[in-house]
Amino acid sequence: MSNDKLTRRRFLKATAAGVIAVPLTAGTLPVRAQEPVALSEDDATAKALGYKADAGAVDAGKYANYKAGQDCGNCLQYKAVDDAQGTCAIFPGKLVAKAGWCQVWVKGG
């Protein structure tokens, strides 16, 4: 009978130690940043802002603020990741095409 109590006691101690240890170690575990994914023209925000992966496909009649030569690569919001794509402050967690365009385009400096 004393072995049963000892087993229960060990179990309760181990459980209590585990419950205490998890919050203590949670702050020390490395957190992996999510890799950005390519922005789809079908994304709800992309649609709302008229994003096109190819600025040449922008309907200038529909987006009067579009001017030839504007693309994500020369926008203030854009930060290149490689030669073809980059991140955009307007679409966090997404990669936009360097040759793309949306109506939030602002001349980069």
Q: Is residue 105 part of a domain?
A: no
What's the whole-model pTM score? 0.69
CB 49 within 8 A of CB 103: yes
- Say yes or no: 24 and 45 in one domain: no
- Say yes or no: 26 and 44 in one domain: no
Does 2 score more than 70 pLDDT?
A: no
Which tens digit of pLDDT belongs to each residue from 70-81?
999 999 999 999
Q: Is residue 83 part of a domain?
A: yes
φ, ψ dihedrals at 34, nearest 5°: -70, 135
- Say yes or no: 48 and 84 in one domain: yes
Q: Which two tokens stand for residue 6?
A: 């000892």
CB 94 within 8 A of CB 43: yes
> How many distinct structural domains can be found in the chain?
2
Pairing between strand 94-97 and 85-88? Answer: antiparallel
Which domain covers residue 7, as residue numbers?
Answer: 1-31
